[in-house]
């Protein structure tokens, strides 16, 4: 078995899993921000019960772990790329839905600033993983790598502006100290 699991395969598997976990946990953070905001609906008024959301999230994490296991054992093939791409888009959509619901509850607050700056990060992270499918639909590896590089730079830029904006909010709340 050790011969089957080459060091390159470990690196690819853990790189994919790390990116998927970042995307899904950012989506989970959006859900938590929504349900922990002061104006969030009470448990009785929620359209989807929290227990169902937890099962959906368990499914998301299970998909990532399954993808990790398959890449470790079989390598990165077309089916794995499709599962990874569809999963990443699903994670991003899940987070965006809660981020958009959060908008009306937190408008003008620091949480709204966080939401507004992290939604583009979430979308770019989902698209970054999805872009890997380009190789399987006929785009050259150079084109796909270039698209992925653009998304990585965009994520960095969005995180930088989020950090600066949140620092400004904190300074404003603390009286400019």
pLDDT one-digit tens code per residue, 43-89: 777 788 888 989 999 999 999 999 899 888 887 778 888 888 899 99
Mean pLDDT, range 117-138, rounded to an integer? 88
Instruction: Let me know if residue 89 belongs to a domain.
Output: yes
Instruction: Let me know if residue 1 belongs to a domain.
Output: no
Mean pLDDT, range 123-130, rounded to an integer? 90
Burial class (CB in 10 A: 0-12, 13-18, 19+), 47: exposed
- The CA distance from 75 to 7, in Å, is 12
First to last CA, the chain: 59
* Residue 119 to residues 92, 99, 114, Cα–Cα distance (Å): 9, 7, 9
pLDDT digit string (tens) for 83-120? 888 999 999 999 999 888 888 777 777 788 888 888 99
Least confident of 8-22, 91-105, 117-131, 160-174: 160-174
Instruction: Let me know if residue 79 belongs to a domain.
Output: yes
Instruction: Let me know if residue 69 belongs to a domain.
Output: yes
Least confident of 5-19, 37-51, 73-87, 136-150: 37-51
- Average pLDDT value for the chain: 85
1 pLDDT band (50/70/90 cuts)?
very low
pLDDT of residue 177: 55
Instruction: Let me know if residue 2 belongs to a domain.
Output: no
Instruction: Let me know if residue 77 belongs to a domain.
Output: yes
- Residue numbers of the domain that contains 67: 7-173
Which is nearest to 83 in space by CA: 52, 60, 110, 109? 60
Mean pLDDT, range 126-149, rounded to an integer? 88
Q: Domain tally for the chain? A: 1
């Amino acid at each position: 078995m050790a011969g089957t699991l080459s060091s390159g395969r470990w690196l690819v598997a853990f790189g994919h899993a790390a990116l998927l976990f970042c995307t899904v946990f950012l989506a989970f953070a959006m859900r938590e921000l929504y349900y922990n905001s002061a104006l969030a609906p009470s448990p009785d008024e929620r359209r989807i019960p929290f227990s169902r959301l937890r099962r959906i999230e368990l499914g998301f994490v299970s998909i990532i772990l399954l993808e990790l296991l398959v890449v470790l054992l079989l390598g990165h093939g077309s089916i794995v790329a499709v599962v990874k791409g569809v999963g990443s888009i699903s994670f991003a959509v899940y987070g965006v839905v809660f981020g958009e619901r959060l908008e009306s509850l937190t408008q003008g607050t620091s949480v709204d600033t966080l939401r507004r700056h992290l939604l583009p990060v979430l979308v770019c992270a989902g698209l970054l993983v999805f872009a890997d499918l380009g190789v399987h639909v006929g785009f050259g590896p150079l084109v796909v790598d270039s698209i992925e590089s653009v998304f990585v730079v965009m994520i960095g830029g969005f995180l930088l502006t989020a950090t600066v904006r949140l620092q400004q909010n904190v300074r404003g709340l603390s009286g400019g100290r």
